[in-house]
C-alpha cells in the first residue's frame, strides 16, 4: 500500500459548482480530479452520497498556547478543529506572553510544529509600545498585525481608542491591519451607568447594551476613514451589527479590495434572546446583538459585503465564565461546530453550499494570499473534508473535544456530520477516530 488515497464518486463543491467526481491524493497534494480507476495499492474511500469540500480555513482563533493552556492548547483545539472539518487556522496574539515580537512569534510556530494537527499561522500583535518595530517588520510569511483584544493601556483600551497610534499604524504599515473594532470609551461609560444601577451583578442581557452597537459602528467607521486616507490594507474582525455592514463594498472583487471584513459564526447563530437561556456562556466581545443584526450580517455575507466566516474560537473554563459580569471572561469555544452551524443555514435555504465554501475556504485563502490552499484544484495541498449532509446528531459534553469541556451549543441537533478530514493528503480524522502521527504545516503566503 502506498500513501495515496482515492476518494471515489463524491460530490465536489468548489468554485461555484457542485459535481460528482473522483479525487486522487498523494505526496500531500491533490494529484487528479476526474474519473480515476483504483490501483490495488491505494486506500479507496467511497464518497457516494457524501460532499467533498476544501478544508475549512478559520481566520481567527484563540488556541491559548503558550501561557493559557489550562483553557486550551495547540493540540487539543486543533484536534477539535479537525473534527469540525477545519484544516487551517490563524491564531490570535493575546496569549501569555502576548505575541508582540517576531522572536515570540517564531517560538509559537515551533510549538505548533510539534502539537498542531491542522495547518497554522499566527498574527503579530500591535500596541502602543511595539508599533515602531511592527512598522519595520517584514510580515510576508505570517499574518500582518492585529489588535484583537490586545490591551495597551492600564485601562484596557483597544487600539481603536488611541488616535495617535492608529494614525501612525495606518500611515506606515504595509501589512494587513486587523482590528477588533469597539470603542472602549463608549463601553466604559456604559459600564459606569449599569454598575450604578446593578452593582457588580449586571445581568448578561445588558452585555450588548454596554458593548453597544454605537461603540462598534463608531470604531469601524473611523478605521475605514483612516484606511482610505492612507490607502492602507484594513481587515475588520468579527463584525456584529447590521449598521456596520453598510460601510463595506460588494462591487469590487476580493483580490482588489483594500478594506475587508468577516463575521464569526456565533454572531450568525445566537441573538440577544439567548442571554435568558445561556447567560454569561454567550458573553462575547463584541457582543451578540439583535435578530435584526443577525439577519443583516447574513444578508451582507450572501451579497459579498462580508468576505469571510471565522469562529473567534475563544475557550475559557466554565469557572471563568460563570462569574459576576465584570469577572466573567468574554469568549466561548466554537471551532468544532462552525461548518455544522453554516450547513444548518443551507438546510434552511438561507445560503447555498457554494457560497458557504467561498466564505469559509476560498476567500480566507485569497484574502490572506495563502499558497495552494482553499480550493480543490490539481497541484494544491490536499486539505479536504468529506461531509454527510443527511445525518442527525446532537452536541453533548461527551462528543466535545475542547480542553475546557463545554460548548454553548450543547443540546443542539445538527443535520450534517463531518465524516473524514484530510490535511496535506493525510487522513487525520475518520468517523470519530484520529490518526495523529503527522502534524499540520506552517501556512505559506505569496
Ligand atoms: O476578541 C475577543 C477575544 C476573545 C478571547 O477570549 O481571547 N474573547 C472575545 O470575546 N473576543
Average pLDDT of the residues in 35-56: 97
Q: 3-state DSSP call for residue 195?
A: helix
Please state the domain extents for the chain: 55-367
Half-sphere exposure of 328 (CA within 13 A, CB side): 22
Q: Which helix (H) or strand (E) holds 352?
A: none
pLDDT over 80 at 160, yes or no: no
**Full 3-state SS string of 59-91:** EEECCCCCCCCCCCCHHHHHHHHHHCCEEEEEE
pLDDT at 245 over 80: yes
Helix count (H) and strand count (E) of the chain? 15, 19
pLDDT of 158 above 80 = no
Q: How far apart are CA 407 and CA 62, in angstroms?
A: 15
The grid cell for 65 is 498556547
CA angle at residue 307 from 304 to 309, to 5 degrees?
120
Cell digits for 367? Answer: 484574502
pLDDT beyond 70 at 425: yes
DSSP 8-class letter at 287? P
C-alpha 399/C-alpha 438 separation (Å) is 23
pLDDT for 264-323, tens place per residue? 999 999 999 999 999 999 999 999 999 999 999 999 999 999 999 999 999 999 999 999
Cβ–Cβ < 8 Å for 340, 51: no
Residue 157 clears pLDDT 80, i.e. is over it: no
Q: Tell whether the torsion through CA atoms of 418, 68, 150 and 442 is positive or negative.
A: negative
Per DSSP bridges, beta strands 29-34 and 56-61 are unpaired
Residue 427: is its pLDDT beyond 70? yes
Please give the CATH number for the structural domain made up of 55-367: 3.20.20.140
Nearest to 342 by CA among 378, 385, 406, 382: 385
Ligand 1 centroid vs 398 CA: distance in angstroms? 25
Range of lowest pLDDT (166-175, 245-254, 386-395): 166-175
Which whole number is the average pLDDT over 150-173? Answer: 76
C-alpha to C-alpha distance for 235 and 221, rounded to whole angstroms: 12
Lining residues, ligand 1, CB within 6 Å? 62, 94, 148-149, 180, 284-285, 312, 314, 330-331
Which ligand 1 atom sits nearest the alpha carbon of residue 94?
A: 7
Q: What is the mean pLDDT of the chain?
A: 96
200, 334, 214: which is closest to 266 by C-alpha? 334
What's the CA gap between 21 and 9, in Å, rounded? 5
Pocket test for ligand 1, best of 284, 315, 329 (most atoms within 8 A of CB): 284
Question: Which of 156, 158, 314 is the best mutation target for the ligand 1 pocket, counting ligand atoms within 8 Å of the beta carbon and taking the most?
Answer: 314
The alpha carbon of 331 and the centre of ligand 1 are apart by a number of angstroms equal to 5
What is the arithmetic mean of pLDDT over 418-424? 98
What pLDDT band is residue 5 in, cutting at 50, 70 and 90?
Answer: very high
pLDDT of residue 159: 77
| pLDDT given for residue 2 in this prediction | 66
Instruction: Locate the ligand 1 atom nearest the alpha carbon of residue 315 and give its number.
Output: 6
Is the pLDDT at 147 greater than 90? The verdict is no
Q: Which three cell numbers stand for residue 4?
A: 495515496
Residues 342-371 have pLDDT tens digits of 999 999 999 999 999 999 999 999 999 999
Q: In angstroms, rounded to a whole number, what is the distance separating the alpha carbons of residues 162 and 151?
A: 11
Return the pLDDT at 156.
55
- How is residue 210 written as a grid cell? 454596554
The residue nearest atom 7 of ligand 1, judged by CA position, is 314
Beta-bridged to residue 145, according to DSSP, are: 124, 177
Provide the pLDDT for residue 153: 45
The reported pLDDT for the residue numbered 128 is 82
**What integer pLDDT is reported at residue 148 of this predicted model?**
80
Report the distance separating Cα 208 and Cα 190, nearest Å: 10
* Ligand 1 atom with least separation from CA of 180: 1
* Residue 303 DSSP one-character state: T
For residue range 200-236, what is the model confidence (pLDDT) as tens digits? 999 999 999 999 999 999 999 999 999 999 999 999 9
For ligand 1, atom 11, the nearest C-alpha belongs to 285
Amino acid at each position: 500500500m502506498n500513501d495515496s488515497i482515492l476518494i471515489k464518486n463524491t460530490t465536489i463543491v468548489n468554485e461555484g459548482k457542485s459535481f460528482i467526481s473522483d479525487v486522487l491524493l498523494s505526496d500531500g497534494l491533490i494529484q487528479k480530479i476526474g474519473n480515476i480507476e483504483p490501483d490495488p495499492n491505494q486506500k479507496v474511500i467511497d464518497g457516494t452520497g457524501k460532499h467533498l469540500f476544501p478544508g475549512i480555513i478559520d481566520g481567527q482563533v484563540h488556541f491559548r498556547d503558550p501561557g493559557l493552556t489550562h483553557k486550551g492548547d495547540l493540540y487539543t483545539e486543533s484536534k477539535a478543529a479537525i473534527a469540525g472539518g477545519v484544516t487551517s487556522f490563524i491564531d490570535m496574539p493575546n496569549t501569555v506572553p502576548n505575541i508582540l515580537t517576531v522572536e515570540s512569534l517564531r517560538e509559537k510556530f515551533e510549538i505548533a510544529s510539534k502539537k498542531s494537527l491542522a495547518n497554522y499561522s499566527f498574527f503579530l500583535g500591535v500596541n502602543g509600545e511595539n508599533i515602531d518595530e511592527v512598522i519595520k517588520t517584514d510580515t510576508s510569511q505570517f499574518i500582518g498585525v492585529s489588535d484583537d483584544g490586545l490591551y495597551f493601556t492600564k485601562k484596557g483600551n483597544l487600539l481603536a481608542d488611541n488616535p495617535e497610534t492608529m494614525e501612525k499604524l495606518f500611515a506606515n504599515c504595509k501589512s494587513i491591519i486587523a482590528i477588533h473594532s469597539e470603542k472602549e470609551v463608549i463601553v466604559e461609560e456604559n459600564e459606569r451607568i449599569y454598575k450604578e444601577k446593578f452593582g457588580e451583578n449586571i445581568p448578561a442581557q445588558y452585555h450588548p447594551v454596554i458593548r453597544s452597537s454605537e461603540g462598534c459602528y463608531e470604531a469601524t467607521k473611523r478605521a475605514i476613514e483612516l484606511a482610505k486616507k492612507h490607502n492602507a490594507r484594513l481587515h475588520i474582525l468579527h463584525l456584529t451589527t447590521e449598521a456596520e455592514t453598510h460601510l463595506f463594498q460588494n462591487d469590487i472583487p476580493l483580490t482588489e479590495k483594500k478594506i475587508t471584513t468577516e463575521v464569526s459564526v456565533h454572531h450568525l447563530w445566537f441573538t440577544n434572546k439567548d442571554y435568558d437561556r445561556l447567560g454569561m456562556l454567550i458573553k462575547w466581545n463584541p457582543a451578540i446583538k439583535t435578530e435584526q443584526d443577525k439577519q443583516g450580517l447574513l444578508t451582507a455575507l450572501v451579497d459579498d459585503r462580508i468576505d469571510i466566516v471565522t469562529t473567534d474560537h475563544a475557550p475559557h473554563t466554565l469557572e471563568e465564565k460563570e462569574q459576576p459580569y465584570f469577572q466573567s471572561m468574554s469568549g466561548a469555544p466554537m471551532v468544532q461546530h462552525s461548518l455544522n452551524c453554516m450547513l444548518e443555514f443551507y438546510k434552511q435555504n438561507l445560503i447555498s453550499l457554494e457560497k458557504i465554501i467561498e466564505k469559509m475556504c476560498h476567500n480566507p485563502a485569497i484574502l490572506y494570499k495563502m499558497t495552494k490552499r482553499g480550493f480543490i484544484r490539481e497541484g494544491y495541498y490536499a486539505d479536504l473534508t468529506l461531509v454527510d449532509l443527511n445525518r442527525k446528531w446532537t452536541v453533548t459534553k461527551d462528543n466535545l473535544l475542547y480542553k475546557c469541556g463545554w460548548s454553548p451549543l450543547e443540546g443542539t441537533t445538527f443535520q450534517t456530520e463531518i465524516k473524514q478530514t484530510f490535511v496535506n493528503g493525510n487522513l487525520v480524522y475518520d468517523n470519530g477516530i484520529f490518526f495523529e502521527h503527522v502534524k499540520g504545516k506552517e501556512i505559506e503566503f505569496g
